[in-house]
Amino acid sequence: MIKWSGIKISVHPFFVIIMLASVLTGHFLELIALFTIVFIHELGHVFAARCFGVQVLAIQMLPFGGVAEMEDTSHLTARREIAIALAGPLQNILLIGVSLLLHVCGLWEGAFFLYFIYSNLLIALFNLLPILPLDGGRYHKP
């Protein structure tokens, strides 16, 4: 566990097994890219939450995604809750935009470029599904 700016950042132990498997199968770079994409996605939630005065307790990186743990957000308006939820997928859209800009400038081409674009798109769209605990499941206030 690491503590950064008052936020505990932890990686699930099972992730180590997945990392070893990725080395054995030759997909380590893809796993690290995916891990980084998910982490940046979670940082989007953290930034938005902090903008609205919500304390972020931890970021947990799990084998199949990440979670930003926050203090109780029931006091937030629906708009602020939605803004925090959309901040994660927005990071994926920004990463796609930067990637496309690098591609247009001739600085990034090939299979890994496409993997990076598709991974960001998949993570953004998957997180918008209206299912808890995904971002899309947080668009309404009870």
Which sequence positions are flagged as catalytic?
Answer: 42
Joined together, the tokens standing for residue 68 give 């930003």
One-letter amino acid at 125 equals L
Quote the DSSP letter at residue 64: T
Cβ–Cβ under 8 Å, residues 107 and 44: no
Distances (CA, A) of 100 to 35, 40, 67: 20, 17, 27
Burial, 130: exposed, middle or buried (Cβ in 10 Å; 0-12, 13-18, 19+)? exposed
